Structure 1
């Protein structure tokens, strides 16, 4: 009996060794596919001032009249930015806050748009958390909602339009970088509000939570490699999920779905999971955030902290400060959307004032440095869509060669986190 038991143990150990070997083989192939390029490097502690974009889209007809309009914003040289906006009918307001935190660079991006389509008010909110570089997240900010609004079935079959747009945008991004040796990726957690109907789509480990009568309800489920259905999908595709500080695809990527990540694309897909919700008077606010918040702030805490603030911008700032004070080592970006129903008093239709608010964000010395394809179908209408929060959270300007160097350096260092 002892020999039999010992023999079984040896068989189990051999199986585990085989899985580890497969993971290491995928990791080695992933690293070998990247080439080293020489470029000027800047000290990791050096901070570059961000550039705010103020421009009008010259392809208005093809892109449903999209225009970029800067709103109330505050930004400092330490990689921190915040801002807010209120809808003219007084039924919705939102605020955002974004902080580089302990990371040496900012890879989080965000986007908010609003427009009228066939008499329907449409609002779109998105959080994009890059990894292995910022290029994928920035591409999503510039293209994902634009592609969605141009989908011929956006109003008639919104869920299908979101699903097809996510995967098309992923293909377009991979095609745009086919001649480069970069392999960055990004999450996307988006909320699309058409009238009172809400669609929340998610790829990766950013998250959207809604408050209903003071209770936090998650509207997305993080795509982690150890999620049973995700692990089964990856292994059925020939991949391996293994432990390397946390569960990772091939021992490399700490999420199971993402845009980009060309070398792992067979296993790391950009197919979104979508939840629908009809909003009524019990729903109070939405919180969309990158995992820099969710790693240290539970859903219930996020909702209670946001509800305690009078304005969504101050709520977003409070969430960012709380995440940092609780030890988040990642970039932290969140959007808070306040919902006001007919029974609630309407807000004045004005842009949020620029009253200065005290922010408990440490200075640089206190922080540890650690193409769109046009379709033949005609758009339903030609509405004017406005980008409400027009700035990237990128606190430093980079040349093309610098971005490549950073991406390659991070990839060569090993596992990739969001």
Structure 2
């Protein structure tokens, strides 16, 4: 049975590689054309064009009214970049977010930003969810994780316990919701919860959160990679194996050691978060949360330096996206920048907005249609044992 399953996996992977090769050969003129376009021109004209604008409601209402951006197109099927931002009523905190499909055929990144008052206490929540094997798990987290957390009875009194229990319960709920399907997708989660001046950063997977203190980048999460010594030991103690298959993978399949979902590997790939707590003072300037599409090509120090170069957090988030893409990121790229203004005067409030790309050329649209069709065919043929990257 094992040999047969492994053989089927190798065959399917071989077919997928052949399809990718055929796709590359099919568009030589387009690839040559891309090389003649400067990076700056492509980014300014394609990622952030002056297109239609969509309003985002970011005002908290009621005693416990979490703000959501449900009207925001986190998944942009046309390949454009969604971006926006908001500021707190007292002007001490600003948030900018940006999400780009990049070179991938489909978008599997989601993000969530919420602000509310609970028992008179201001609470802000920021999350990056990077799906793999499909977008269903990431979308489920965007819709449910923070809602479940704020409903936890110890959310304000014992926040770290509430986060840990909510993460694992939400994972169980997701697996239960898909028990009758044949899908086995998963997602990372890197979240920052700000309760007053207390910051709680929780991480599952290889998305990451970094904070800037007096201009220095300090990681508040450590990527969950299978070859991390403590993670490898945990997996092997549970009866699993870490193998090299292009990169280190759990069972030769999954390129991260913790994730939501991934039913077939759940014994080894847990959704228990690592949590760091930080009391914020005036030396802390900003937070950067991002999927690995950014961190694969932008070191922590570069991300902080780039974000600090822009007063407006939305512009900072967009600059990070541009930089990651120009440096060759081949993944979906999503980031959130949270700026802490403390006692300084914040920049003028801008109108929260979403920008999307309406101005694609017919060639790009045709290529995306071809790629999406190819991806759908591949998904129909994929097995539960194929290599998965975040």
Q: Which bin holds the TM-score, normalised by the shorter protein? A: 0.7 to 0.9
Partner of 1:291: 292
Equivalents in 2 of 1:26, 1:171: separation in Å? 30
How many angstroms does 1:340 deviate by?
1.0
Query: How far apart, CA to CA, are the structure 2 residues paired with 1:352 and 1:254?
Result: 39
Match of 1:253 in 2: 254
Greater relative contact order, per chain length (Cα 8 Å cut-off, separation 6+): 1
Contact 1:71–1:351 (CA<8 Å) still a contact in 2? Answer: no
Identify the residue that residue 330 of structure 1 maps to in structure 2: 331
Q: Which residue of 1 aligns with 2:275?
A: 274
RMSD, aligned α-carbons: 3.8
CA contact (8 A) 2:84 2:354 kept: no
Partner Cα separation in structure 2 for residue 210 and residue 362 of structure 1: 35
Separation of aligned partners in 2, 1:117 and 1:280: 22
Question: Deviation of residue 194 (structure 1)?
Answer: 0.2
**Alpha-carbon contact 1:127-1:290 (below 8 Å) kept:** yes
CA displacement, residues 193-224 of structure 1 (integer Å, 9 cap, x when unaligned): 00000000000000000000000000000000
Q: Is the 8 A contact 1:91 1:347 kept in 2?
A: no
- Which residue matches 1:416? 388
| Alignment partner, residue 310 of structure 1 | 311
**Pairs within 5 Å for 1:147-162:** 147-162=148-163
Report the Cα offset of residue 352 of structure 1.
3.0
Native 8 Å contact 2:175 2:261 kept in 1: yes
In 2, the alpha carbon distance for the partners of 1:406 and 1:96 equals: 31
- Count of paired positions: 343
Shift of 1:364: 8.3
Contact 1:27-1:251 at 8 Å conserved across structures: no
CA distance in 2, matches of 1:364, 1:220: 42
Aligned pair in 2 of structure 1 residues 228, 309: CA closer, same or farther (>3 Å)? same
CA distance in 1, matches of 2:87, 2:361: 30
CA contact (8 A) 2:86 2:352 kept: no
Query: 2:96, 2:314 within 8 Å by CA — same for their partners in 1?
Result: yes
Does structure 1 retain, via aligned residues, the 8 Å contact 2:294–2:324?
yes
Which residue matches 1:378? none
Match of 2:192, SS state, is strand
Flag structure 1 segments of 5+ consecutive residues without an equivalent.
1-23, 35-43, 46-51, 371-394
Superposition map of 1:105-184 within 5 A: 105-184=106-185
Change over 3 Å in CA distance of 1:353–1:187 after alignment to 2: closer
Following superposition, the deviation at residue 79 of structure 1 comes to 3.4
Alpha-carbon deviation of 1:310? 2.0
Q: Report the equivalent of 1:319.
A: 320
Deviation at 1:414, TM superposition (A): 2.6
Q: Is the 8 A contact 2:86 2:94 kept in 1?
A: yes
Residues 371-410 of structure 1 aligned to structure 2 (within 5 Å):
407-410=379-382
Q: Note if contact 1:215-1:303 (Cα within 8 Å) is conserved in structure 2.
A: yes
Report SS of the residue matched to 1:297: coil
In the alignment, is residue 235 of structure 1 matched against residue 265 of structure 2?
no
Per-residue CA deviation, residues 68-93 of structure 1 (Å, 9 max, x unaligned), is 45689897932321111111110100
The Cα offsets for residues 273-332 of structure 1, whole Å up to 9 and x where unpaired, read as: 000000000000000000000000000000001101121111111111111111111000
Quote the residue 1:97 is aligned against: 98
Deviation string for 1:29-63 (max 9, x for gaps)?
9969x9xxxxxxxxx99xxxxxx8999xxxx99x9
Q: Is the 8 A contact 1:87 1:93 kept in 2?
A: yes
TM-score of the superposition, structure 1-length normalised? Answer: 0.73
Deviations along 1:125-181, one digit per CA (max 9) or x if unpaired, are 000000000000000000000000000000000000000000000000000000000
Match of 2:351 in 1: 352
Contact 1:201 1:274 in 2 (8 A): yes
Separation in structure 2 between the aligned mates of residue 329 and residue 155 of structure 1, nearest angstrom: 39
Partner SS, residue 192 of structure 1:
strand
Deviation track 1:337-389 (CA, whole Å, cap 9, x = no partner) reads 000112x11455x45366989x9x9978579979xxxxxxxxxxxxxxxxxxx
